[in-house]
A and B are shown apart, each in its own frame.
Chain A
Amino acid sequence: MKFKIRTNLVSGIIMGLFSGFMLIVMPKQVRVPAYDSGAPSPRIIPGICLVVILLCSIILIIQSLVFKKEKYVVFDWENEKPAILLIALMCLYVFLIIKIGFILASAIIFIIVLFYCGERKPFIYIFTIALAVGIYFLFSRVFHVSLPAGPFFGG
């Protein structure tokens, strides 16, 4: 699967819709304080940012549709599949860290990552699991940050 992304047009539309939505929900999401402390409204900076994003999005759409100025990015599924899978695995990694702790989550996820990357020798798997244990204790003993231990390690 291979297709071209018209990045100016697509980013113009996505960012335009995003900024529009954020501007619409601003009165609910950024409330004006009940009393006046003399400070500027908390809506000013986000408001300026959103208006600039909206303007830039309109410029991008005009550039693409009216002036035919476009930058194409080729989305090749074969090329992007590893990146998307790795990002998905990292999201799963976060979920597992929260649920079963850092060491077990690392062991599961990196066994999958290494297998996916074509590693078949057992040493690299043992090394990676040992590394997870090492990093866990480095953070807990040296930096005094207790990484999630999970139900099996007394967390």
Chain B
Amino acid sequence: MDFAMIAQAAAQTFTLYNIALIFGGLLIGMVIGCIPGLSVTLGIILMLPLTYGMSDPASAIILMLAVYVGGMYGGSISAITLNTPGTNSAIATTFDGYPLARKGKVKKALDVSLFASTFGGLFSALLLLLCAQLITKAVSKFTSVEYFALGIMGISLIAGVSGESLPKALISGMMGLLMACIGMDTVTGVSRYSFGSSILRYGIDILPAMIALIALMQVVDKLREFKLSGGKIKDANKIDHDGMSGKETKRILPACLKSSAIASILGAMPGVGGGVAQFMCYNEVRRSSKHPEEFGKGCLEGIAAAESSNNAVVGSAMIPLLTLGIPGDGVTALLLGAFMLHGITPGPTMFTKQGVMAYTIILGCLVANIFLYPIGKALTRAVAKVIQVRYTYLACAIIMFCFAGAFAASGHYKELILTASILILSYILTLLDIDNTPLLLGMILEPIMEKYFVSASMAYDRDYTIFVRRPISLVILIITVVMVFSMMRVNRRVNRLNAEQEAAMAAEHAQMGGEVDATLAQARVASDPDSSATESYADAVFEKEHIKVPPEKSADND
């Protein structure tokens, strides 16, 4: 590790400004993460326009990372109190968080979730700090040929793991690349596919695309749900005061450690996000537990496994992003977009040319995870109240902010027209069952890929066979093909297992609800007004009040 750079970075990270940004980011992340249907990606997109005016790009990235970290924990708040995961990565938290909340131990469940989230986040942030330099050194011999091959790897892997159909995912990814090609070619100055339109002449900016593809589509989906359900809001469990004890903290530590380690490895692999990691970690902790029968019934280790895994992914997903410039999932793809909007190109050169900035970002991630604990402790109760705010208040605010943010990209009307057009395209793609994550990634990666493609071609006198003649590039391309097919297979299997597990848990929860119904009926029938019957009736009424519907499948995209 380069300690001189880290010392310099520490001085930059621990400014009052950055610490305030981390606090704000964590809070916003928690609020957005805990609202079902709004994902962490939306939080990051909403932050982007705010960061335009920031003089230090590292501060902008730190703010977005804090939103990411806060959002991952925030997802568990609604998973526990409402039995509806706030984000995709908190589905496994409902398995044990909800039954524990039903027992009236909401605070305990939230405490475990917060502790595990902080633990997982810190574990992976430290791993990021240790590994980044090593990986960077290992790939320091890479030239533009290899970087181009890495770009192909990034886009292929995302295409390989998103959606069920590889051809559709490839179409989506290629559409993204093509959309980014529109406008003036930076090398030759030639106009590409602008069809004589002044809107397309200067190309499609990433920000309106991100806003339309991710943020606005989510809001439209959620508003549709609101309209169809007649605006009903589920009641959330009330938070009690009985927190986690020291003994319980010790009990969940092995689960946190195991889950963080597995999730860190998974998260560092491009194409695997928190959504996949949580189930694998939950299964593994359950399998190796001394009392697997308790899982799914309010087991603390279960919550710890799910929560430490999704926060561990945050730091480890940054490893390929910072060292190789390959985003691991939708959120890191957005972060890559944010890096580029702020003029930072992640990759090995980042640690040599912008080393202090790279370490400032890593330290920011670490500090955000440290602060998550006290902020979570102090504000979870207040944040949980947001779930009960009517969605129409939020939706209007988000839509206005999205369009204002898109306009801010260049201060020109064309951004608004492009945002609306991409929104229509995104809706059509949804109807055709084409995932738009590869499209977004393609748009983000294209400028980097084309830059490396052009410099490699010029360096080797337009000999395009160079991409398969240089051994490292060839190896990367071969690994890409092998990984795409193997990961597609693994992913399909994992998805099937996840669906089965989700269905099993939902059935179990429903059954538990049924048991309570039976208790309730029994208690009502009992005519003997002795104390025990009254007690059981009171218990049953209490439990009945806390029963929620089986978990819904969150369709948000993070």
Q: Choose from A114, A127, A143 the contact partner of B50 (Cβ within 8 Å).
A: A143
**Chain B residues, CB < 8 A from A87:** 220, 423-424, 427
Given A39-B454, A86-B224, the answer on whether A53 and B174 have CB atoms closer than 8 Å is yes
Query: A12 CB to closest chain B CB, in angstroms?
Result: 8
| Residue A20 is within 8 A (CB to CB) of chain B in the complex | no
**Chain B residues, CB < 8 A from A15:** 171
B432–A10 CB distance below 8 A: yes
**Chain B residues, CB < 8 A from A17:** none
**CB proximity to A under 8 Å, residues B471-514:** none
B223–A29 CB distance below 8 A: no
A82–B223 CB distance below 8 A: yes
Given A11-B171, A143-B52, the answer on whether A30 and B187 have CB atoms closer than 8 Å is no
**Chain B residues, CB < 8 A from A91:** 420, 423-424
Write out, one digit per residue, whether chain A residues 1-28 have a CB within 8 A of any chain B CB (1) or not (0).
0000101101100110000001000000
Docked Cα-Cα span, A110 to B394, in Å, equals 12
Write out, one digit per residue, whether chain B residues 221-236 have a CB within 8 A of any chain A CB (1) or not (0).
1011011101100000
**Chain B residues, CB < 8 A from A65:** none
Q: Choose from A29, A71, A128, A145 the contact partner of B396 (Cβ within 8 Å).
A: A128
Docked Cα-Cα span, A68 to B395, in Å, equals 41
Number of chain B residues whose Cβ lies closer than 8 Å to a Cβ of chain A: 71
B404–A102 CB distance below 8 A: yes
B167–A56 CB distance below 8 A: yes
B167–A59 CB distance below 8 A: yes
| Residue B457 is within 8 A (CB to CB) of chain A in the complex | yes
| Residue B419 is within 8 A (CB to CB) of chain A in the complex | yes
A46–B227 CB distance below 8 A: no
| Residue A108 is within 8 A (CB to CB) of chain B in the complex | no
Query: B235 CB to closest chain A CB, in angstroms?
Result: 19
Query: B53 CB to closest chain A CB, in angstroms?
Result: 5
**Chain A residues, CB < 8 A from B170:** 52-53, 56
B392–A114 CB distance below 8 A: yes
**Chain A residues, CB < 8 A from B407:** 97, 145, 147-148
Docked Cα-Cα span, A22 to B50, in Å, equals 37
Q: Which residue of A lies closest to B446 (CB)?
A: A45
A119–B227 CB distance below 8 A: no
**Chain B residues, CB < 8 A from A37:** 187-188
**Chain A residues, CB < 8 A from B395:** 113
Q: Choose from B165, B223, B417 the contact partner of A94 (Cβ within 8 Å).
A: B417
**Chain B residues, CB < 8 A from A14:** 432
A30–B416 CB distance below 8 A: no
B223–A117 CB distance below 8 A: yes
Docked Cα-Cα span, A7 to B397, in Å, equals 34
Query: A130 CB to closest chain B CB, in angstroms?
Result: 11
Given A11-B433, A83-B221, A148-B407, the answer on whether A63 and B192 have CB atoms closer than 8 Å is no
| Residue B286 is within 8 A (CB to CB) of chain A in the complex | no
Docked Cα-Cα span, A55 to B227, in Å, equals 40
Q: Which of B27-35, B177-185, B375-383 contacts A (4 or more CB under 8 A)?
A: B177-185
B226–A86 CB distance below 8 A: no
B433–A73 CB distance below 8 A: yes
Docked Cα-Cα span, A145 to B407, in Å, equals 9
| Residue B390 is within 8 A (CB to CB) of chain A in the complex | yes
Docked Cα-Cα span, A117 to B420, in Å, equals 21
- Of B192, B396, B419, chain A has the most CB atoms within 10 Å of the CB of B396
Write out, one digit per residue, whether chain B residues 398-433 have a CB within 8 A of any chain A CB (1) or not (0).
011101100110010100110110011001000111
- Of A56, A57, A93, A97, chain B has the most CB atoms within 10 Å of the CB of A56
Contact-size category for A: 35 or more
| Residue B525 is within 8 A (CB to CB) of chain A in the complex | no
Docked Cα-Cα span, A60 to B163, in Å, equals 14
**Chain A residues, CB < 8 A from B431:** 5, 7, 73, 75
**CB proximity to A under 8 Å, residues B155-202:** 164-165, 167-168, 170-171, 174-175, 177-178, 181, 185, 187-195
B167–A45 CB distance below 8 A: no
Docked Cα-Cα span, A39 to B220, in Å, equals 43
Q: Choose from A39, A86, A97 the contact partner of B458 (Cβ within 8 Å).
A: A39
**Chain B residues, CB < 8 A from A90:** 216, 220, 399, 403, 420, 423
Query: B160 CB to closest chain A CB, in angstroms?
Result: 13
**Chain B residues, CB < 8 A from A148:** 407, 413
**Chain A residues, CB < 8 A from B53:** 142-144
Given A42-B190, A56-B171, A94-B417, the answer on whether A127 and B231 have CB atoms closer than 8 Å is no
Write out, one digit per residue, whether chain B residues 246-280 have a CB within 8 A of any chain A CB (1) or not (0).
00000000000000000000000000000000000
Q: Choose from B193, B392, B433 the contact partner of A22 (Cβ within 8 Å).
A: B193
A49–B231 CB distance below 8 A: no
Docked Cα-Cα span, A106 to B407, in Å, equals 14
Q: Choose from A71, A75, A83, A144 the contact partner of B164 (Cβ within 8 Å).
A: A71
Query: B520 CB to closest chain A CB, in angstroms?
Result: 33
B171–A53 CB distance below 8 A: yes
Write out, one digit per residue, whether chain A residues 103-121 have a CB within 8 A of any chain B CB (1) or not (0).
0001000100110111100
A49–B423 CB distance below 8 A: no
Query: B480 CB to closest chain A CB, in angstroms?
Result: 14
**Chain B residues, CB < 8 A from A38:** 458, 461-462
B174–A49 CB distance below 8 A: yes
Docked Cα-Cα span, A76 to B556, in Å, equals 20
Docked Cα-Cα span, A50 to B181, in Å, equals 11
| Residue B453 is within 8 A (CB to CB) of chain A in the complex | yes
Query: B239 CB to closest chain A CB, in angstroms?
Result: 27
Docked Cα-Cα span, A109 to B231, in Å, equals 19
Given A38-B458, A49-B174, the answer on whether A86 and B192 have CB atoms closer than 8 Å is no
Q: Which residue of B lies closest to A7 (CB)?
A: B433
| Residue B434 is within 8 A (CB to CB) of chain A in the complex | yes
Given A82-B228, A87-B427, A117-B231, the answer on whether A131 and B454 have CB atoms closer than 8 Å is no
A106–B408 CB distance below 8 A: no
List 7 additional A-B contacts (Cβ < 8 Å) besides A40-B453, A117-B231: A7-B432, A29-B195, A44-B453, A60-B165, A86-B224, A113-B223, A143-B49
Task: Supply 27 A–B pairs (Cβ within 8 Å), ascending by A.
Answer: A5-B432, A8-B165, A8-B168, A11-B434, A15-B171, A29-B193, A33-B190, A39-B458, A40-B458, A42-B187, A42-B192, A45-B181, A46-B192, A59-B167, A60-B171, A79-B228, A83-B220, A90-B399, A90-B423, A94-B416, A113-B223, A117-B226, A117-B227, A128-B396, A139-B49, A145-B52, A145-B404
